[in-house]
A and B are shown apart, each in its own frame.
Chain A
Amino acid sequence: MKQSGNLPRSGFGSLVLIAAVLGGGAAAFAYTAGWLSPGRLTPERMIAALAPPGGAPLGHRRNHAKGICFTGAFEANGNGAELSRARIFERGKYLAVGRFNLGTTDPNAVDATARVRGLGLQITAADGEEWRMALINPPFFAVSTPQAFHDLLIASGQKDPEAMKAFIQSNPEFAAFAAWAKTAPWTESYAQDAYHGLNSFIFTDARGGERTVRWSLLPAAPAVPISQAELERRGPDFLEQEITERIRTDGPQRWTMVTTVAGPGDPTADPSKAWPEGRRTVQVGTLVVQRIEQERDGPCRDINFDPTVLPKGIRVSDDPFPAARSSVYRKSYDLRAAEAGSYPRTEVAKP
């Protein structure tokens, strides 16, 4: 009696309830996926902002698209062990694979058009544990936040000169980078550049002590300044030919890895701010580049030099860049792997 009296009303109410649960669930999912927030800075939007007017370089890295592979070793001198318990700092020689590259979205860019040069590096410890990083030659980054980097890409891609002015007004830290780009000398070789990690990370030592650090690779080869015009005259792919030739005739090229320990109050979350002179530095080892290989069939092509692939004893700090880079590099990797058919994978068959 009670049952049959209840059913029609609660039956309808129940259906409404079920529809509400499903609709609410689907809406929450869509919100989480960012489909309802076009303003969210997603890896897709960052990749879209990187794309040059002619379209993205299919099958290639979405940034630093031009590069050449190297292999060699990281020779740890043991000094790093007092800063971090990472096994890679224990005195010894570890396999290194890397990539010299240019900060451009064009895999065929003329060398003299790329102001920023980079170095991707993967060091593998004896037990297989990996440390990956990607460093560049300016001594500080162009902007303070990933959002500002996105805004920079958008502004610099616009014809309207007001766009850059407006960008610099709201991101004054960019002025220092613009000055560096204008005045810093160019060098005639990948081997003569210093490469800086710029982002800060936390090193944990064997006793659990923690320090925030940044690191750089400082070249053994003395810098030979060269004008941009002279570099252009030497040819569009001069840097790749030069480093190949240099290693063939002069032998392995070396960089000292120097870690700098942050002082109290140093801007650890902002790679556009260099730390003051006089901070404690520790030389932890030497990168020895022994062999150059073309990217197309080389060992670096399929590596994502994601700066959050870290050994135990190193972890991310309050610097927001490594997380943003990891997310965007992953997307870039997904895309270039899916587009592998568009990449000139193997040299044209020899006659």
Chain B
Amino acid sequence: MSNAHHRFAPIQRFLHWLMAACIIAMLFIGVGMVSTVAPTYLPLILIHKTLGVTLLVLVLIRLALRLHYGAPPLPEDLPPAIRLGARLSHLALYGLMIVMPLLGLGMLWAAAYPVVLYGGIEIPAVLPQSDRAHTLLWSAHFYLGFAFFAIVLLHLAAALFHALVRRDGVFGTMALFTLRNRTTPSE
């Protein structure tokens, strides 16, 4: 338990990497499916909807875990501006993880499409058809999708910077496996 302050809990680390892979897949599937008329369009959009709703469930579990376990502190020598940046970008990532699936669902409801997931699971609509709501939700899903990708890239750059350049142990707090003292400070 002495590790608690140096690393995220194993379940948190597991969820982090699982969701990271799925979110990157969602972003690529999203832009890929809307730019094709090939037969793969149908399986792609089915995966997009199913995985997106699954991620919504996962992020809620993840937030609960985050509130329960907290996060290890950032290194003391990290400049305040970087700290603020880290905090804000993490907030943005959590926000997008929650908002993106809701926008996706809302956009389909507002267009009066039945939302049917893999296995025939149907999610009942909670919004009536509305051109205005559809356009608003569509635009938000579209622009925030690109913002999400940009922030994911930034997050990845920062993680690699911690791991490879600063070598301050921040990467190790979320690593799935303990890497040699390359990424975690030796104690």
Contacts and interface: CB of A to CB of B under 8 A. Distances in A.
Contact of A302 (B114, B122, B131): B131
Contact of A46 (B28, B31, B37, B112): B37
A304 interface: yes
A326 B111 CA distance: 14
Interface string B143-183: 00000010001001100110011000000000000000000
Contact of B165 (A11, A308, A333): A11
B112 A32 contact: no
Contacts of B153: 22, 25-26
A15 B165 CA distance: 8
A171 interface: no
A327 interface: yes
A240 interface: no
A112 interface: no
Contact of B129 (A40, A302, A316): A302
A316 B45 CA distance: 14
Interface in A306-351: 306, 308-309, 312, 316, 320, 322-324, 326-328, 331, 333-334, 337-338, 340
A28 B152 CA distance: 14
Given A14-B160, A14-B165, A304 B32 contact: no
B34 A43 contact: yes
Contacts of B112: 302-304
A120 to B, nearest CB: 13
Find the residue from B32, B33, B35, B138 having the highest chain A CB count within 10 A. B35
B27 interface: yes
B165 to A, nearest CB: 5
Contacts of A166: none
B82 to A, nearest CB: 15
A32 B122 CA distance: 29
A340 B111 CA distance: 13
A60 to B, nearest CB: 13
A133 to B, nearest CB: 14
A157 interface: no
Interface string A13-49: 0110110011001101100111000001111101000
B39 A320 contact: yes
B117 to A, nearest CB: 13
Interface string A145-177: 010000000000000000000000000000000
A42 to B, nearest CB: 5
A255 to B, nearest CB: 24
Interface in B2-55: 27-28, 31-42
B131 A327 contact: no
Contact of A28 (B28, B39, B40, B122): B28
Contacts of B157: 18, 21-22
Contacts of B27: 29
A344 B134 CA distance: 19
A340 B132 CA distance: 8
Contacts of A328: 37
A37 to B, nearest CB: 9
A38 to B, nearest CB: 11
Interface string B88-119: 00000000000000000000000111100000
A333 B33 CA distance: 16
A42 B164 contact: no
A17 B160 contact: yes
A130 B41 CA distance: 20
20 contacts: A14-B164, A17-B164, A18-B157, A22-B153, A22-B156, A29-B27, A32-B31, A34-B31, A34-B32, A34-B35, A40-B35, A130-B114, A312-B120, A316-B39, A323-B37, A326-B41, A328-B37, A337-B134, A338-B131, A340-B132
Given A28-B28, A33-B35, 17 more contacts: A18-B157, A21-B160, A29-B31, A32-B32, A40-B35, A43-B36, A43-B37, A44-B35, A302-B129, A302-B131, A303-B112, A306-B113, A316-B39, A327-B34, A327-B36, A328-B37, A340-B131
